[in-house]
Structure 1
Amino acid sequence: MGSSDGAETVTMLLTPDNPSDVRRRYEPMHNLIEGEVDGVEVETQVPQDYSAIRPALKSEQAEIGMDDITLISNPDLMDVYGTAVTGGSAFYFSVMLTNPDSNIQQRTDVEGETMAFADRLSTSGSIFAVYALKQAGLDVGEAPDGDPVDFEGSWSNHEVALEKLGNGEADAATTWGGNGIAHIPSGTEVPDRVDQKSSFLDTIGSESPKFRPFWWSFPIPKQPVYARKTWKSDKKDEIGTVLRNSDKGLIQQYYPEDYDEEELPFTTLAQTSMKEYQPVIKRLDALGIELGE
């Protein structure tokens, strides 16, 4: 693709969420690519949901994506740059939250209650949580593609899930650590695995309302960043090299004014393979989620 000034336009699909928020979070990454790769103009788009990402790549309406579900659904369509690293960690967590005065103490207590999820195909905000509830013995029905049996479920995005919990539309919610940890009161004990591998614990207690965690996943590999295989351009490899060679000092040069470093979803990329994403594949299979061709 080209642009009016002769630069090559590269369309990068961000993770589905509130468009203004997610664009702000990824602005340093956007600026890094434009600043370090000559002749490139990056256009960021926020898909309505995860199911819209692969069709956009397959129809060559975009060049770069960054979610594991799309990669897993057809890895032969993608060339993987690597897995995002933030705060020195290439892992993050799914967490279930409830209000401080709630009677929900463990997963089985969700029975008969309402749970707010993120997008149906969100790894941390839906798939890991639905699987964990199923493993706890709850009848999840056809969730996330249909309705659960032993509890009520609603699907939206990470931010809305917490909003529903906060305003009383849900009794519990699930989200990813980068979104949820800030709403957990300071001083709350977290599992050792979270303490060792989460890059978001420095945000704990910084947001309101406050929620109480009652379940944490094991470490999940952060999002992969990949390019569609059919993209034929020397800029493709240049961008991959820049992303892999980035570090905190370099990315900081591309922060916009008043940028909140705690929200940064990318510092550099770690080399990974599909092996790291096998736990995600296992849960998709267990829940009968067909990602299609």
Structure 2
Amino acid sequence: MSNRREFLTLLGTAGAVGLAGCAGGGGGSGSSDGSTDAATGASGDTATSTPTATSTPVPYGDGRLTFYMSPSEPQQLMESQYQPVKERFEEELGVTTQLQYAAGYSAALQSLASGTGDVGETGPFAAALGVANDRCDIILQRFGYGSWTYASVIVTQEGSDIESLSDLEGERVAFADRLSASGALYPLYMLKQAGLSIGDLPTDTGDADFTPQFSSHAEAFAALERGQVAAAGVGQFITLNDNRELIDGFRYVETTEDIPRAPIVVSPELSDEEQTAVKEAFLDAGDELYLGEDGEADTEDDLWFSDVREADNETYQPVVDVANDLGVSAELLDSGGS
């Protein structure tokens, strides 16, 4: 947590005041039961509500570990993909583990902040904001498609009149989640660098030189396929075919590379020992952790990432720098983006 104060300074302490633990729009929908820490106020055999010096803390707050999955794919598929992770936690940590399908990044971060969630997978931008507002701690970075980094693109149809980003003035542009690094933050940064006004995006939709619409990477690209938007700002991965090549019928208008791949985050309510145990459960696992419920490689339920390494706030400093350039407010965490 040594870099947290620096993150707060970089992302703006004014926007962070009063946010920790506060209920944001749509934030509570990621929790299955909305329950609070069952261990709070527990006192053993005595009538007092103040724990004694000999009280034994309940592991992971309520005696179980809750892992939040970001809704990048259908729930049933993601539960199959993360089944080996669930089993790994139960075996190595000795605690019942629940997989929870989050309503979005904001919902997952609120649950981690309150302690109703313990571990989560999220995007770089969401994690950076979460760290700055005491909603999560970064412990790991994921490796996928042969790299620790990835790319953001602004893509259009092959036959469109969009030759440069300036041609998007007055047009409708699709983006992913407002808290997505590759699907919102970096595309908006590219548009701003090209001289277009982005207004108060991604926090507010007003006063931009184009009309934005936010959804998910898949839906943003689908909107482009249907001809409903002139371009889409998304992670490059959603535009590629099985051979890792751009899908026929599309072309890139602009690309930004070397974005640090997404992290694994934990609740700041976990003890240092619990955070370390979660980290080591990932780091010490074999390849089978990434093969999904069927245990076979190159099948539908494989995780998109195939390795992890230790990471912290500094790993995602480039994302923070871009957020600062855009003047992103911490209020974005409670804007209801999904």
Q: TM-score range, shorter-chain basis?
A: 0.7 to 0.9
Cα distance in 1 for partners of 2:304, 2:166 equals 32
Distance in 1 (CA, whole Å) between partners of 2:158 and 2:106 is 34
Q: What number of residue pairs does the alignment pair up?
A: 269
CA distances 1:20-52 after superposition (whole Å, capped 9, x unpaired): 377258425535534752533332223323222
Whether contact under 8 Å (2:105, 2:179) holds in the other structure is: yes
CA distance in 2, matches of 1:160, 1:118: 8
Per-residue deviation at 1:268?
A: 2.0
Deviation at 1:253, TM superposition (A): 7.2
- Quote the offset at 1:178 in angstroms: 2.4
Pairing of 1:163-242 with structure 2 (within 5 A): 163-182=222-241, 202-204=243-245, 210-232=249-271, 236-242=275-281
Which structure has the bigger radius of gyration? Answer: 2
Match of 1:40 among 84, 95, 103: 95
Q: Are residues 1:109 and 2:170 paired?
A: no
Residue number among 177, 184, 202 corresponding to 1:144 in the alignment: 202
Match of 2:326 among 276, 282, 287: 287
Classify 1:24/1:212 alpha carbon distance in 2 versus 1 (closer, same or farther; 3 Å): farther
Matching of residue 23 in structure 1 with residue 62 in structure 2: no
| C-alpha separation in 1, matches of 2:166 and 2:87 | 45
SS of 1:289's equivalent in the other structure is coil
Letter in 1 for 2:244: T
TM-score, structure 2 as length reference: 0.69
- Where 2:109 maps in the other structure, the secondary structure is helix
Q: What 5-or-longer segments of structure 1 have no aligned partner?
A: 183-200
| Fraction of identical pairs, as percent | 26
Q: Distance in 2 between matches of 1:151 and 1:23?
A: 34
Is residue 112 of structure 2 the alignment partner of residue 71 of structure 1? no
- Per the alignment, residue 85 of structure 1 pairs with 143
How far apart, CA to CA, are the structure 2 residues paired with 1:266 and 1:18? 14
Give the Cα separation in 2 of the matches to 1:32 and 1:92: 29
- State the match for 2:53 in structure 1: none
- What secondary structure sits across from 2:179 in the alignment? coil
TM-score by length of 1: 0.78
Q: 2:212 aligns with which of 153, 156, 159?
A: 153
Moved more, 220-229 or 128-137: 220-229
Q: Unaligned regions of 5+ residues in structure 2, if any?
A: 1-36, 39-61, 334-338
Q: Deviation at 1:127?
A: 0.7
- Contact 2:148 2:260 survives alignment (8 Å): yes
What's the counterpart of residue 179 of structure 2? 121
For the residue of structure 2 that corresponds to 1:37, the secondary structure is: helix
What's the counterpart of residue 134 of structure 1? 192
State the superposition RMSD in angstroms. 3.1
Q: CA deviation at 1:56?
A: 1.1
